Structures are given as C-alpha cells and as structure tokens.
Amino acid sequence: MSLTPFHIAFPVDDLTAARAFYGGVLACPEGRSSESWIDFDLFGHQIVAHQAPPRAVPGHANPVDGHDVPVPHFGVVLDLPRWRDLAERLKAAGVRFVVEPHIRFAGQVGEQATMFFLDPAGNALEFKAFADMGQLFAT
C-alpha cells in the first residue's frame, strides 16, 4: 500500500528554535519559509511550524500501557532500524523524553516501539515502529 504524505501545521513560539530542532536534531530538510512559518520534510510528510504566541494551558495526558501519553501529539511510524537510529540521535542531542524509548504492549496485539518528546515550543511528538507493520491497525 502506498501512502500519500500528510500535512500538519502547528504552533511554535520561536522559529529559530524550531529550525534548530526540526532541521538540526530531527534532520528534517527545510522547504519554503517566511518570517512567520517554515515547511519541513518529516520522513516524506509536510509539517509546518507557524509562529504563534506561547500556550498558556499545559498539555493533557491519557494513560496508555503504564505511561502518561501527551495529548495532542503527532509523529511518524518508522521501520525499526530508522526508529532506533532516531532514538540514538535524540539521546545524543540531549533531548528529554516524556516517555523514554521502549516497547509498548510487549507480547500483545499492537506491540510497538515508541517514544515521546517535546519540541522547543512544547509540542508533543511520538515516533513509533512495528516489527510487523500488519500490527499498525490490529485490534
């Protein structure tokens, strides 16, 4: 199955910090930009960081498999080698994890590698991987 790229626009309070994080730490190639937004290529998907005032309301979390998962969040499903490489790159860059890289639902339907962290503006990101991609929508 061939997927088409998704698009998401999200708020950041500092475009310079967003450029350093998404372009530097996550190694997302930069696309078009202006004084108020930047396009990034996140593993083939278009994400757009838009300058916005800082958020006054802290994020919400829901319990999932023993961890508090931040809501809202976004991210990409990767293959396991790319997920492991990203986890190591984030650790080397000193990124603080909301949920450390680990295997969720171990031995159960939907077993997956997952990790959560925040960008400099406080946006939550999740990157996950499946040993068996057929588990992505398993019930």
Superfamily covering domain 63-135: 2,3-Dihydroxybiphenyl 1,2-Dioxygenase, domain 1 (3.10.180.10)
Instruction: Return the closest-CA partner of residue 105 out of 54, 69, 76.
Output: 69
Is the pLDDT confidence value at 135 over 80? yes
Give the Cα separation of 50 and 37 in Å (integer). 4
3.80.10.10, 1.10.1040.10, 3.30.720.120, 3.30.565.10: CATH of 7-51: 3.30.720.120
Rounded to whole angstroms, what are the CA distances from 120 to 14, 20, 72, 74, 137?
8, 9, 15, 15, 31
Give the Cα separation of 100 and 115 in Å (integer). 5
Write down the pTM of the prediction: 0.90
pLDDT of residue 119: 96
Longest Cα separation, the chain? 48
What percent of the chain stands above pLDDT 90?
83
Q: How do the domains of the chain map onto residue ranges? A: 7-51, 63-135
Is the pLDDT confidence value at 91 over 90? yes
Is the pLDDT confidence value at 40 over 90? yes
pLDDT of residue 55: 72
Q: What value does the mean pLDDT of the chain take?
A: 93
* Fold match between domain 7-51 and domain 63-135: no
Give the Cα separation of 79 and 81 in Å (integer). 6
Is the pLDDT confidence value at 1 over 70? no
pLDDT of residue 54: 78
The residue-averaged pLDDT of 13-23 equals 97
Tens of pLDDT along 45-86? 999 999 998 776 667 889 998 999 999 999 999 999 999 999
pLDDT of residue 56: 64
The residue-averaged pLDDT of 104-128 equals 95
